[in-house]
Structure 1
Amino acid sequence: MTWDPAPLSEVVALFSAVRVPWWIAGGHAIELAVGRPVREHADVDVLVLRRDQLAVQEALRPWEWWAADPPGTLRPWRAGELLPEGVDDIWCRPAAAGPWRIQVMLDEAEGDEWVSRRNPAVRRAVTGLGDVSADGIPYLAPEVQLFAKARGTRPKDERDFAAALPVLGASRRQWLADALRTAFGEHPWLARL
Structure 2
Amino acid sequence: MTRIETPWGPWEPAPLAEVVELFTGLAAPWWVSGGYAIELAVGRPYREHADVDISVLRRDHETVRRLLTGWDCWAADPPGTLRPWPVDEPLPPPVYDIWVREGGGGPWRFQLTLDESDGDRWVYRRDARIHRPLESCTVAAGDGPPRIAPEIQLLYKARDPRPKDETDFTEVLPHLTEAQRLWLDGALATEHGTHPWRARLRP
TM score, norm. by length of structure 2: 0.92
The SS at the match of 2:132 is strand
Q: Quick one: which of 68, 91, 97 aligns to 1:60? A: 68
Runs of 4+ deviating beyond 6 Å: none
- Whether contact under 8 Å (2:69, 2:87) holds in the other structure is no
RMSD across aligned positions (CA) = 1.0
Give the deviation of 1:97 after TM superposition.
Answer: 2.8
Give the Cα–Cα distance (whole angstroms) in 2 for the partners of residues 40 and 136 of structure 1: 19
Give the secondary structure class of the aligned counterpart of 2:32: strand
Unaligned 5+ segments in structure 2 are 1-8
In the alignment, structure 1 segments of 5+ residues that lack a partner are none
Which of 84, 88, 91 matches 1:80? 88
Note the C-alpha offset of 1:113.
0.6
Instruction: Give, in angstroms, the shift of residue 134 of structure 1.
Output: 3.9
How far apart, CA to CA, are the structure 1 residues paired with 2:171 and 2:67?
31
Deviations 1:145-176 (A, max 9, x none): 00010001110000000011011000000010
Q: Deviations over 1:113-157 (max 9, x none)?
A: 111012110101111111023423000100000001000111000
1:30 equivalent in alignment to 2:17: no
**Paired position in structure 2 for 1:91:** 99
Number of residues paired by the alignment? 193
- 8 Å CA contact 1:66, 1:90 repeated in 2: yes
What corresponds to 1:179 in structure 2? Answer: 187
- Residue 14 (structure 2) aligned to one of 6, 22, 30: 6
Superposed counterparts of 1:101-120, under 5 Å? 101-120=109-128
In percent, how many aligned pairs have the same letter?
A: 56
Between the aligned partners of 1:97 and 1:14, the Cα distance in structure 2 is 18
TM-score for both structures, normalised by structure 1:
0.97
